[in-house]
Amino acid sequence: MNKRTLTALATALAASLALGATGCSKTKHADAGPDAGGKNPATANAGTVVGGTPQKGGTLTVLSNQDFTHLDPARNWVMNDMDFGTRLLYRTLVTYKAAPGTAGGELVPDLATDLGTSSNGAKTWTFHLKPGVKYEDGSPVTAGDVKYNVERSFSPDLPGGADYAARYLAGADGYQGPAQGKHLDSIKTPDDHTIVFELRKPFAEFPNATVMPTFAPVPQAQDKGPQYDNRPFSSGPYKIESYQRGKKLVLVRNTHWDAATDQVRKAYPDKLVMVMGLKANQIDDRLIASQGADASAVSWGALRPESAAKVLPSAEVRKRLIAESTNCTDMVQMHTGRAPFDDVKVRQAVQYALDKDAVLTSSGGPAFNDPSTAYMPASLFGGKQPDTVKVPVAGDVAKAKQLLKDAGKPDGFTTKMTVSTGDKGRAEAIQQALGKAGIKVTIETVDPSAFYATIGDTKNRTDMVYTGWCPDYPSGSTFLPFVFDGRYIKEKGNSGNHSLFRDDATMKKMDEIAALTDAKQANAAWQQLDGEILAKAPAVPVLVRRWPLVLGTNIAGAYGQTSFGGQLDYATAGLKDPSKSQG
């Protein structure tokens, strides 16, 4: 799901963009044990909870350089924002377990009593709602409210949300939301505690999709259309006291939330204050110093790479650093549908010319990034990406030149690459490396808001694009088909498959894997297919970023949630000593 990476980038402005860094050296170190951890100073806390168990009470302060893209559950589809929304403000049918490391990818029931039951060959899914779950005004959460929010996500007034409902629900074509009084027949609510989804095709992983905020309840009486974004109605442990867009958000306890119905959220602090629009570097400096009220603060955005020099050499600050992998792979995707990249040799030349080391450095260095040797991130390979093509990490210019010669382009060629403003530094590193092999690249930077529209126009876009893809949940089915299935290509509004890769063998294999019922077998097959596609080089995997965060000294219960792009898990974060915080 590009969308999240993208939108995450979109929200970070030019100021925060130089960085955007998250990274994923987790692959190398997570399995290498504590002694290898010494090599990457950023990952010593990987897989552990920093600060011990929090005490109840106090005010947790979040310092941010930006505002949320959307908090309206029908529109919230950015990793960080989904973390914040579903951990604090609203509950979904199913959610992720609150645990560090890979355990954070496990599903647990939330509003529902279980992970859903399927029938009709995984085309019908039934969920039962727990009794006693209440909104902030004490009224009960009903199955109809969940249905209503799923319907809202179809409204053209409320764009931006996850599109699983649109892709899978039966009879959803042309549906434009509930505002005109029309409803979806494929979602049935036989009583207030039962909801049944009718899908148009079998979808064994449907419970994974119900983690999305689309499947959170919104009572129709509270729906104010686009304005709901500024005041979502709470079904979680906190409710909004005040929200000044771009300035400040204050959350206080939802007294009607019952911990007995919730096995995920701990809700330690009494209050959460998010201060927005601060300068990213000043946030880093404040947290490194951790003076006074800043001791009870965390950062919303990732640490900026230029702050690394102030963090990594200090053992005291390193103890407060978490740097979970984002599990998103950055790639250079080449237009395989036209010259010169219709020639596999030319694409391989790019594969060999690219100096991942240099891109890594411009992205914050090996402490906050890992070079990527496969398309799918390490989480889909059980912790470590294989290296099937064996291109040296700094590239092999001689080999690249030879490949260009074989392709009949001994003098190289000129081409263009579109990148989002935040990836400017990484793009310059790529430009440098390819230039050495004779491939002259012109960089076209595009504002994050216009980036997808620009590269989605397959006729007028540049030959190369620099994008990322994150699996929505730990399954190869949320990665390879989105990025390499030729049948998803659209002439305008194209997404994911920016290589325009149309390979019969690949598509046949994908259909075979989708038909597999055994998850383990499917997993192994996806992993093998990854290598097979890599050999055809429609795209070059570049790196996986981490999401480094420095915590205040008074923060406890903190870890990066792997399923939310490494963002701090707000379900469990709290304070060591609430009396030290300032309200």
Considering only residues 431-460, where is the footprint of another protein by CB under 8 A? 431-432, 443-450, 452-453, 456
- Measured between alpha carbons, how far is 481 from 483 in angstroms, rounded to an integer? 6
Positions in 150-169 near another protein (CB under 8 A): 155-157, 159-160, 163
Least CB distance from residue 6 to another protein, whole Å? 5
Least CB distance from residue 362 to another protein, whole Å? 5
Please measure the distance between the N-terminal and C-terminal CA atoms of the chain and give it in whole angstroms.
Answer: 38
Least CB distance from residue 174 to another protein, whole Å? 7
Name the residue nearer to another protein (CB basis): 537 or 551: 551
Q: Is position 286 an interface residue for another protein (rule: CB under 8 A)? A: yes
Preceding amide of 340 cis, omega within 30: yes
Name the residue nearer to another protein (CB basis): 49 or 332: 332
- Measured between alpha carbons, how far is 519 from 532 in angstroms, rounded to an integer? 20
- Measured between alpha carbons, how far is 527 from 86 in angstroms, rounded to an integer? 31
Task: Please calculate the CA angle 325-43-377 and round it to the nearest 5 degrees.
Answer: 25
Name the residue nearer to another protein (CB basis): 56 or 279: 279
Least CB distance from residue 72 to another protein, whole Å? 9
Q: What mask of x and - would describe binding to another protein in positions 109 to 148, judged by CB under 8 A?
A: ----------------------------------------
Name the residue nearer to another protein (CB basis): 118 or 290: 290
- Give CA separation, 5 vs 1, 77, 91, 305, 538, in Å: 7, 10, 23, 18, 21
- Tokens found for residue 213: 């905020």
Positions in 397-426 near another protein (CB under 8 A): 421, 424-425
Positions in 41-60 near another protein (CB under 8 A): 41
Positions in 64-103 near another protein (CB under 8 A): 65-67, 77
- Give CA separation, 36 vs 25, 32, 268, 373, in Å: 12, 6, 34, 20
Nearest to 418 by CA among 384, 457, 469: 457
- Measured between alpha carbons, how far is 168 from 396 in angstroms, rounded to an integer? 44
Give the contacts of 262 (CB within 8 A, at least 6 positions apart).
91, 110, 237
Q: Is position 315 an interface residue for another protein (rule: CB under 8 A)? A: no
Positions in 516-535 near another protein (CB under 8 A): none
- Measured between alpha carbons, how far is 319 from 325 in angstroms, rounded to an integer? 17
Look at residue 156 and give its three-state secondary structure.
coil
- Cβ atoms of 545 and 336 closer than 8 Å: no
Q: Is position 487 an interface residue for another protein (rule: CB under 8 A)? A: no
Positions in 199-258 near another protein (CB under 8 A): 223-227, 229-230, 244-247
Least CB distance from residue 245 to another protein, whole Å? 5
Q: Is position 182 an interface residue for another protein (rule: CB under 8 A)? A: no
- Measured between alpha carbons, how far is 15 from 422 in angstroms, rounded to an integer? 9
Least CB distance from residue 493 to another protein, whole Å? 5
Least CB distance from residue 483 to another protein, whole Å? 13
Least CB distance from residue 130 to another protein, whole Å? 29
Q: Is position 360 an interface residue for another protein (rule: CB under 8 A)? A: yes
Give the CA diameter of the chain.
Answer: 73
Positions in 248-277 near another protein (CB under 8 A): 275-277
Least CB distance from residue 529 to another protein, whole Å? 22
Positions in 2-21 near another protein (CB under 8 A): 2-3, 6-7, 10-11, 13-15, 18
Q: What are phi and psi of 124, to 5 degrees?
A: -125, 130
- Tokens found for residue 366: 């090996």
Name the residue nearer to another protein (CB basis): 109 or 178: 178
